[in-house]
Amino acid sequence: MAAVAELSFLLFALSNNIHAEERITVQQENTAYTFSLPENTNSCLISRFVGEEKLVLWNTSDLRSNNSSVPEHLKRLVSTGKTYSYTICSLTHSDSGLYQEECWTKGNLTHEKNISITVCSSMHKMGGTDTRLGKTVDMQCDRAAHNLDIQWLKHDIRYEQEIWTRVFGDNVTSVTDNVRGRYQLVTKTSTLRISNVTITDLGEYTCLMMNQQKCVKSDEKLLRLKSETIYRSVEETAVLPCNVNDFTDDPPPLWKFKQKSLFHTDLGLQNQTVPSVDQNYSLAFSSLMLNHSGWYSCYASKTQQVYLLLVCPKFGPPAVELFSEGEKVTVRCRDWREGTGHYWFIKSNRTEGRVFSVKDQRMSRVSWYYNNGNLVISNVSVEDTGEYWCVVYDPYHQCVSTERTVLVYMEPFGIYSTFFKVRCSVLSVLLLMLCAAVVAVNLRTRRGAQLSAQRET
Which class would CATH give 319-409?
mainly beta
Q: What is the pLDDT of residue 252?
A: 77
Residue 332 in this model has a pLDDT that exceeds 80: yes
Q: For 140-156, how does the pLDDT look when each residue is reduced to its tens digit (9 = 90+)?
A: 887 666 678 888 888 86
Q: What is the pLDDT of residue 172?
A: 55
CB atoms under 10 Å from CB of 49, counted, come to: 21
What is residue 225's three-state secondary structure?
Answer: strand
Q: Which fold is adopted by the domain 2-224?
A: Immunoglobulin-like (2.60.40)
Residue 118 in this model has a pLDDT that exceeds 90: yes
> What is the H or E stretch that residue 366 is in?
strand 366-368
Multiple choice CATH, 236-312, 2.60.40.10, 3.40.710.10, 2.60.40.1220, 3.40.50.880: 2.60.40.10
> What is the H or E stretch that residue 437 is in?
helix 418-456
- Residue whose C-alpha is closest to residue 128's, from 226, 218, 242, 256: 226
Cα–Cα distances (Å) from 446 to 66, 78, 312, 441, in that order, read: 139, 125, 66, 9
Looking at the DSSP bridge assignments, the partners of residue 347 are 355, 387
Q: What is the pLDDT of residue 117?
A: 92
Q: What is the pLDDT of residue 27?
A: 92
Mean pLDDT in the chain? 76
Q: Which residues contact 456 (CB under 8 A, 6 or more apart)?
A: none
| CB contact at 8 A, 407 and 319 | no
Parallel/antiparallel/unpaired status of strands 399-409 and 319-323: parallel
What are the boundaries of each domain within the chain?
2-224, 236-312, 319-409, 415-457
Cα–Cα distances (Å) from 229 to 32, 74, 380, in that order, read: 43, 57, 24
Confidence class for position 163, pLDDT limits 50, 70, 90: confident
Confidence class for position 71, pLDDT limits 50, 70, 90: low
Phi, psi of 25 (to 5 degrees): -130, 145
What is residue 448's three-state secondary structure?
Answer: helix
Query: Comparing 236-312 with 319-409, is the CATH topology the same?
Result: yes
Q: For 38-64, how does the pLDDT look when each residue is reduced to its tens digit (9 = 90+)?
A: 877 778 888 888 888 888 887 777 655
